[in-house]
Amino acid sequence: MLLAAARYGYANAKVRALRSRKLTEQDRHFLLTAKDLTSCLSYLATTSYSPCLADPEKTIPELPTLERQLAQPLLGHYAKVVYSLRGAKERELILALFRRFEAENLKIVLRALFANLNRDAVCHLLYPLGRLNDLDWDTLWSCKSVSELLEHLRPGIFGQSLQHALPQFEAQGRLFPLEMGLDFSCFRILRQAISALGSRYDRTVTEKILTLYIDILNISWVIRLKKDYGLRPEEILNYTLPEGSLISLACLNHLARAEDIAEFVNHLPPAFRHELSTIRDWAKLAQRLETYFLKALARIFSGQPFHIGIAVAYLLEKEIELANLITLLQAKARNLPVEEIGNRLSWQITESVYVPAG
């Protein structure tokens, strides 16, 4: 414990200080019940998101631009966590988690290349990666073809996975195989970074987080590939992540073939089935799964404090906060009712939950 405290004392204090700046229950209540998007942004400007917001009384940027602006605190926190860690392997794990944002920006580059759009046309969709960025974006933007772009990616990061997906891209004429290849690459890098950790406790905790994350992503992806993309069950299995904790390949096969939501939920392991047994709407499954994941992340902060899992759990929590915030703003822009918005958020905050003092 003393060695762990010495190794993680400063990082633990940094993470908990950052975590204290998350949106509070009061913040979530007032954001949810704001009368419109302008009022919502006015309140958001009183929170820790204030530095990345323009004056809402003067101008409201387009939602895609606003969404990327709101990602600045999260990506800045990634950098603060990395620089607070003493060990190179621990820093490499957080950087592996950060690679997912590089992958999302790479998807934008690929889509622009595929649609023959220039950088200026899509720059507002890019995550502001900041100091942790490790890719030569100027070179990547100058590429004239997908194959040329792949030549400029390091094999050990994204290049190898994209090369494997290139034949499917060329055969299908769509970017989906390349985008899934990027996702697969991110989790391969994460798995390698976890395996390289020197502490068995660090490996155990982060492995538990990662495998639950993979389980939840696989369930969500099966739903999306079934409902949004209309893929056949055998195709869906090709686009799921290996090495989850509870969701086996056989389970994924059953989920991909389920005819309705009741059958889908019935094929899940007991832990998930209990959480989702009351759901009758496909759209609410992902929200409930996210809530389940948030509960699991929160439990990590009540245990032994000196390990890398604290940093991983916080950053994933912060990502989910950002995703919920974006969902909320999109709903406010459409003037949706408060109850309907609340049903879309894993915060599980409704108008009746928070009662102001006095």
Residues 139, 177, 65, CA angle at the centre, nearest 5°? Answer: 55
Nearest CA-CA partner of 191 in 242, 155, 236: 242
Phi, psi of 68 (to 5 degrees): -70, -35
Nearest CA-CA partner of 322 in 21, 1, 70: 70
Give the up-direction half-sphere exposure of residue 321: CA atoms within 13 A in the CB hemisphere.
26
pLDDT value at position 268? 95
Give the up-direction half-sphere exposure of residue 339: CA atoms within 13 A in the CB hemisphere.
1
Nearest CA-CA partner of 101 in 130, 142, 140, 61: 130
CA dist., res. 276 & res. 262, Å (int): 10
pLDDT value at position 62? 86
69-101 confidence digits (pLDDT tens): 999 999 999 999 999 999 999 999 999 999 999
pLDDT value at position 242? 84
CA dist., res. 25 & res. 329, Å (int): 17
Nearest CA-CA partner of 262 in 272, 276, 252, 249: 276
End-to-end CA gap in the chain: 44
Q: Which amino acid is at 37?
A: L
The answer to whether residues 69 and 121 touch, using CB atoms and an 8 Å cutoff, is: no
Integer CA distances (angstroms), 292 to 8, 29, 311, 333, in order: 27, 20, 19, 27
CA dist., res. 345 & res. 155, Å (int): 38
What's the CATH fold of domain 201-303?
A: V-type ATP synthase subunit C fold (1.20.1690)
Identify the burial level of 265 via C-beta atoms within 10 angstroms of its C-beta, where 0-12 means exposed, 13-18 middle and 19 or more buried: buried
pLDDT value at position 79? 98
Phi, psi of 293 (to 5 degrees): -65, -40
pLDDT value at position 286? 86
Q: Which amino acid is at 326?
A: I
The answer to whether residues 240 and 222 touch, using CB atoms and an 8 Å cutoff, is: yes
pLDDT value at position 351? 35
The answer to whether residues 310 and 12 touch, using CB atoms and an 8 Å cutoff, is: yes
DSSP structure string for 118-179: -HHHHGGGS---GGG--S-HHHHHT-SSHHHHHHTS-IIIIIHHHHHHHHHHHHHTSSHHHH
Query: How does pLDDT run along the chain (358 residues), one tens digit per residue?
Result: 677 888 899 999 999 999 999 999 999 999 999 999 999 999 999 999 999 987 656 677 788 889 999 999 999 999 999 999 999 999 999 999 999 999 999 999 999 999 999 999 999 999 999 999 999 999 999 999 999 999 999 888 899 999 999 999 999 999 999 999 999 999 999 999 999 999 999 999 999 999 999 999 999 999 999 988 888 998 899 889 988 889 999 999 999 999 999 999 999 999 899 889 899 888 888 889 999 999 999 999 998 899 999 999 999 999 999 999 999 999 999 999 999 998 889 865 433 344 444 3
Q: Which two tokens stand for residue 88?
A: 């190179």
Residues 234, 239, 242, CA angle at the centre, nearest 5°? Answer: 105
CA dist., res. 71 & res. 127, Å (int): 7
206-223 confidence digits (pLDDT tens): 999 999 999 999 999 999
DSSP structure string for 231-252: --HHHHHTTS-S--SS--HHHH
pLDDT value at position 59? 72
Nearest CA-CA partner of 205 in 292, 297, 290: 297
pLDDT value at position 57? 63
pLDDT value at position 171? 94
